[in-house]
Chain A
Amino acid sequence: MGLESYLLVGAVLFVSGVVCMATKRNGIGLLMGVELVLNGANVNFVAFSRFTSLGLDGQIVSLFVIVLAAAEAAVALSIALNFYNNHLTIDVDRGDELKG
């Protein structure tokens, strides 16, 4: 299977993540959307690493992306826990104190 098939899978992952971030009202659901977007980017990196002159660099970048996604999930989750402690809900529509 060629490069374009993998790029199509990456595109589907990316779009699903964007739609998930746009429509979900649960804070944890937004985090899952971010994970999907990063995963779609990773599929593209590894596919380019296999099929083009990018070589091993693509795999190294995808490793960095995986590690940074784990760090992002840890920080965002602790923020979500703080939000839940203050609002007693995880609905992100309720976090509107900073509205002008």
Chain B
Amino acid sequence: MTYEKLLFLIFALSTCGGALGVVLAQRVARMAFWLIVSLGSTAGLYFMLHADFVAATQIIIYVGGTLVLLIFGIMLTASGPHVNIQTSPGELVLGAGVGLMLLFLIQGTVRSVDWNQAAVVTSQGEFVPAEGQGYNPQGQGNTIRPLGMALLGLRPDKDLGAPEEAGLSSGYLFPFEIVSIHLLVVLVGASYLARAKRRAQASE
């Protein structure tokens, strides 16, 4: 068993186990813990896919930002000690059945597609990216510089060597600007929605 396979097994098992823990945990704080496990191991999977910047972003924004936000939400919305808002076992069994059927459907779909057109299979039956396809860190360096240039609208990995009549560069400057405005609007709207107000009197 190669090191790559061993690392993949570790990260994949903790990712899937964390996801199942989120589903099966009954207390919401434990769900947050399992979500940290799952998202952190996903960053490990990204490192194994040679996507170093995406993995770092996953750790910084997801695990460091979004989850801290969720944990603050858990603390601010704590319910009383005798309030039971847990799922009944019958609903859990029903959800597990539907989820297993959905999983088998997706897995059957994945198996029925011939991925050999997209990737080349070696004689040992392993997938490797086809020649000239995929991102190759040995030939193209780390992903940070190409990603930054692509967000600025430049695609040297696609435009260099392309025919003259290929047209404009396929960069991502416009989505980048839209996302930045979107983030500004979201932050203003969220702080407006969550501002301190008079608490409702009737508790029914």
A residues at B contact (CB < 8 Å): 1-9, 11-20, 22-29, 31-33, 35-36, 39, 42-43, 46-56, 59-60, 62-64, 66-71, 73-75, 77-82, 84-91, 93
Contacts and interface: CB of A to CB of B under 8 A. Distances in A.
Interface in B107-150: 107, 110-111, 115, 118-119, 126-127, 129-130, 133-135, 143, 146-147, 150
A77 B194 contact: yes
B74 A19 contact: no
Interface in B81-125: 83, 85-87, 91-92, 95-96, 98-100, 102-103, 106-107, 110-111, 115, 118-119
A63 B119 contact: no
A46 B115 contact: no
A47 to B, nearest CB: 6
Contacts of B62: 35, 39, 66, 69-70
17 contacts: A4-B127, A5-B12, A12-B19, A13-B38, A18-B102, A28-B28, A28-B31, A31-B70, A31-B73, A32-B31, A33-B22, A48-B118, A50-B134, A70-B65, A73-B69, A85-B199, A89-B83
Interface of B: 4-5, 8, 12, 15-16, 19-20, 22-23, 28, 31-32, 35, 38-39, 42, 45-46, 48-51, 53-54, 57-58, 61-62, 65-66, 69-70, 72-74, 76-77, 79, 83, 85-87, 91-92, 95-96, 98-100, 102-103, 106-107, 110-111, 115, 118-119, 126-127, 129-130, 133-135, 143, 146-147, 150-151, 155, 157-158, 172, 175, 179, 182-183, 186-187, 189-191, 193-194, 197, 199-200, 203-204
Given A42-B42, A55-B157, A3 B133 contact: no
Nearest to A8: B107
B73 to A, nearest CB: 5
Contacts of B111: 4
A91 B151 CA distance: 41
What are the nearest 9 A-B pairs in CB distance?
Answer: A2-B127, A78-B194, A16-B19, A52-B118, A78-B193, A19-B99, A23-B95, A71-B186, A53-B133
Contacts of A50: 49-51, 129, 134-135
Specify the main secondary structure of chain B where it touches its partner.
Answer: helix
B101 to A, nearest CB: 9
A55 to B, nearest CB: 6
Given A15-B100, A91-B79, 4 more contacts: A13-B15, A16-B23, A59-B54, A81-B77
